[in-house]
Amino acid sequence: MTLPDASQKAIDDYLTALRRQLRDLMEEDMNDIVEEIRAHILDKTTAGADPAQVAHTLAALGAPRDLAARYCTEEMMRRAEAHRSNTQKARIAGRWTVGILAGLLVLLVSAVGYSLGGFLIIIGIAKLMWPKGTGLWEANYPDGTWGLGFSGGSGNAPPANSHDLLGWWIYPIGFILGPAILYGTFRLGRWTLRKLWPSRKKFNYATTEPQTEI
């Protein structure tokens, strides 16, 4: 059905005003109400209806504010309130689940990262103290078995039947890669936690203590 622009505008303005007055209801209810009133207006308006005819139809419905007030009954407001609190509950539960899972993952990655970084630094220091007994040893035993492992601090002599795979490379690995892994783990953990709780700082603004950056 086609309507003159002025008539269409009058209908649109009425429905916009009605929607604004219904803002306290559930969005689904609000849309449903506005669409039903639109259908009613269109059913009562013939094609090509002039603005006066449209105005008559709108007047029969009452002012948007009065019509909206009739919709905002106790039942409808309770429905909106219940929906709001359910959505809120679901959002909080979802945020907690994601937070806990991400927290566990950060914990696991951090544990591995800090252990590995710390271990490499210790191996570097051990190499300084016991250069001959520290290294990544590959062992070929007489019985045919094979072994691979770091050792250090158990005497200043290589383990039996073994040779060092790293040699002096153990220094850059211990003193550059080790701290790099520690720093990388720290940065990754801090970044993840900031992503998870971006508003953390905002809520702590009142504390006099310097902000703890995790």
Which 79-98 positions form the footprint of other proteins (CB under 8 A)?
79
Q: Smaller CB distance to other proteins: residue 76 or 106?
A: 76
At closest approach, how far in Å is the CB of 17 from other proteins?
A: 14
Provide the CA 29 distance to its chain's centre, in angstroms. Answer: 29
| Burial grade of 49 (CB within 10 A; 0-12, 13-18, 19 or more) | buried
CB of 80 to other proteins, least distance (A): 10
CB of 96 to other proteins, least distance (A): 32
**Which position among 10, 11, 15, 37 is part of the footprint of other proteins (CB under 8 A)?**
37
**60, exposed or middle or buried, with CB in 10 Å at 0-12, 13-18, 19+?**
exposed
28 near other proteins, rule: CB under 8 A: no
Site string for other proteins, 41-80 (x = CB under 8 A): -xxx---------------xxx---xx--xx-x-xx--x-
Q: Which is nearer to other proteins, 39 or 92 (CB)?
A: 39
Of the residues 13, 35, 50, 81, which one makes contact with other proteins according to CB under 8 A: 35
DSSP 1: -
Tell me how far, at minimum, the Cβ of 73 lies from other proteins, in Å. Answer: 5
Task: For residue 1, count other CB atoms closer than 10 A to its CB.
Answer: 9
Cβ-Cβ contacts under 8 Å for 47 (sequence gap 6 or more): 1, 2, 3
Q: Compute the distance between CA of residue 188 and CA of residue 173 in angstroms, rounded to an integer.
A: 20
Point out which residues pair with 135 in neighbouring strands: 151
- Stretch of residues binding other proteins (CB under 8 A), selected from 27-35, 96-104, 112-120, 131-139: 27-35
Closest by alpha carbon to 137, among 152, 126, 125, 124?
152
Residues in touch with other proteins (CB under 8 A): 1, 29, 32-33, 35-40, 42-44, 60-62, 66-67, 70-71, 73, 75-76, 79
